[in-house]
Amino acid sequence: MTELDQWRARVREWLSATLPPKAADDAGDPDDLAVFHNLSVAAERALLARARAYQRAKFDAGYQALTLAREHGGRGLPAAYAMVLAQEEARFAVPPSTELISVTVGLVGSAVSVFGTPPQRERFARAFLRTDLLACQLFSEPGAGSDLAALRARAVRDGADWVVSGQKVWTSGARFADYGMLLARTDPSVVKQAGITAFLVPMDADGLTVRPIRQMSGGASFNEVFLTDVRVPDALRLGEPGQGWEIANATLAFERTASGAGKRRKGGSVQDVIALARRLGRAGDPLVRQRLADLYVRATLHASTVERVANATAAGRRPGPAASITKLMAAQTLTLTGQVAAEVLGARIAADTGEPGTFAWTQHVLGAPGYRIAGGTDEIQRNIIGERVLGLPGEPRVDKVPFSDLPRT
Ligand SMILES: Cc1cc2nc3c(=O)[nH]c(=O)nc-3n(C[C@H](O)[C@H](O)[C@H](O)COP(=O)(O)OP(=O)(O)OC[C@H]3O[C@@H](n4cnc5c(N)ncnc54)[C@H](O)[C@@H]3O)c2cc1C
């Protein structure tokens, strides 16, 4: 038995003692097809409580932060160990998770562990990795998404504090977060990437307002966050002034290699569409069969590419631009799954007749576009693939001047 086999056996034993196994047919609820939750505040809290209970059990048993270096409070294990854990978790009924859990554990918890001062690590690292505290990601702004380094939220030093003003947007889970990891401009006189600093901001600070954004699929997973003269103690600055861009990039990379922290099923799957066609007696229609076959091939190609990238990561290679290919394929498969389901359903998708597993597909169709935007849009992934995989000429860069000299739009 190799060490990895022993690890798998240990993980399986722990999971068997902690969670029920997944149902044999993995059929689940035919109406649970939402890409984004559409829940009341109380239901969202209950979902978070179940997800947190599992994350705590995982932390306490030593299965959290596996790939994080030992000196940063992790287990310092190769990525192959995290992959085995994710594979084994897939066999069990892991409680459904949310974006806020993966941001807290995979992104902010790791960022504090690596870049935090000893007191910050003492106070926050364990609390975030164990989800005792929850943290959202205050990065995007109305004028800074794909071009994140163009952000305009400002933090000005005032004695022992920083005074922060600006607006953030699309902040997943902000209503339930205790802290936000914020990027703000602290020096406009240098090029845009160099003048950014990272902070941990208490979400109940005076001057901070969270306003939920109602999505077309019904729920309000993300929010606008307004900051007006919010005083943030210097003790909550993460890293050095001007180090924010480096921290943001490093933490986004942690997110990609996080050990399946809080992964959740998003929308319907190809198997759900095939089951739908069979249920509605449409699986014999040659045109439907052609669409199902196309979807199946694409979903299988996506799964194989994910596996190839995971194996390369597990073998110690960086995913690099290959991660852009899997992100693009994931968004395309999610979109196509909804399109084929809508074609199979025909008029049934237009009105809720109470028939299970039919109108519920609207939750998938209306949620899927969000994943063509989140975590880097389709166009940005194509730019990365074009420039770094295909070696095409790069985009013209006109912004290598001090931020304060950039034209305002
Ligand atoms: C589900 C979801 C969850 C999110 N959660 C968070 C969160 O928790 N915290 C947070 O900070 N942010 C979050 N975001 C925001 C997300 O990071 C941004 O929406 C994303 O980076 C795109 O930025 P934008 O919306 O400003 O669009 P823009 O950058 O303004 O893009 C608009 C359009 O222009 C295209 N475009 C832009 N630049 C280029 C280019 N150089 N070449 C070609 N085309 C281009 C884009 O592809 C897009 O089609 C979330 C978004 C979604 C959808």
Closest by alpha carbon to 378, among 332, 319, 337?
A: 332
Listed residues 99, 134, 169: the one ending a domain: 134
d(CA 115, CA 238) in angstroms, rounded, equals 6
Q: What is the pLDDT along the chain (409 residues), one digit of tens a residue?
A: 799 999 999 999 999 999 998 876 666 677 889 999 889 999 999 999 999 999 999 999 999 999 888 888 889 998 889 989 999 998 999 998 899 999 999 999 999 999 999 999 999 999 999 999 999 999 999 999 999 999 999 999 999 999 999 999 999 999 999 999 999 999 999 999 999 999 999 999 999 999 999 999 889 999 999 999 999 999 999 999 999 999 999 887 766 554 444 455 689 999 999 999 999 999 999 999 999 999 999 999 999 998 888 888 777 777 778 888 999 999 999 999 999 999 999 999 999 999 989 999 999 999 999 999 998 999 999 999 999 989 999 988 878 899 999 887 6
- The catalytic position among 71, 255, 355, 387 is 255
pLDDT score for 258: 46
- Cα 144 to averaged position of ligand 1 atoms, centre (Å): 8
Q: How many structural domains compose the chain?
A: 3
Q: Is there a single domain that holds both residue 279 and residue 352?
A: yes
Listed residues 100, 134, 168: the one ending a domain: 134
- Cα 142 to averaged position of ligand 1 atoms, centre (Å): 10
How many CA atoms does the CB half-sphere of 133 hold within 13 Å?
19
pTM: 0.93
Q: Is 172 in the pocket of ligand 1 (CB under 6 A)?
A: yes
Q: Is 121 exposed, middle or buried (0-12, 13-18, 19+ CB in 10 A)?
A: middle
Q: Is 379 in the pocket of ligand 1 (CB under 6 A)?
A: yes
- Cα 376 to averaged position of ligand 1 atoms, centre (Å): 6
Q: Is 220 in the pocket of ligand 1 (CB under 6 A)?
A: no
One-letter amino acid at 32 equals: D
d(CA 248, CA 238) in angstroms, rounded, equals 11
Ligand 1, residue 136: give the atom nearest the CA.
8
pLDDT score for 367: 94
255 is catalytic: yes
d(CA 125, CA 261) in angstroms, rounded, equals 15
Ligand 1, residue 148: give the atom nearest the CA.
21
Q: Is there a single domain that holds both residue 94 and residue 150?
A: no
Closest by alpha carbon to 37, among 271, 187, 221, 261?
A: 221
Closest by alpha carbon to 168, among 208, 206, 199?
A: 208
d(CA 74, CA 65) in angstroms, rounded, equals 5
The reply to whether 84 falls in a domain is yes
Domain hosting residue 218, numbered range: 135-246
pLDDT score for 333: 96
Q: Is there a single domain that holds both residue 18 and residue 53?
A: yes
pLDDT score for 24: 67
Pocket test for ligand 1, best of 146, 169, 392 (most atoms within 8 A of CB): 146
d(CA 186, CA 152) in angstroms, rounded, equals 10
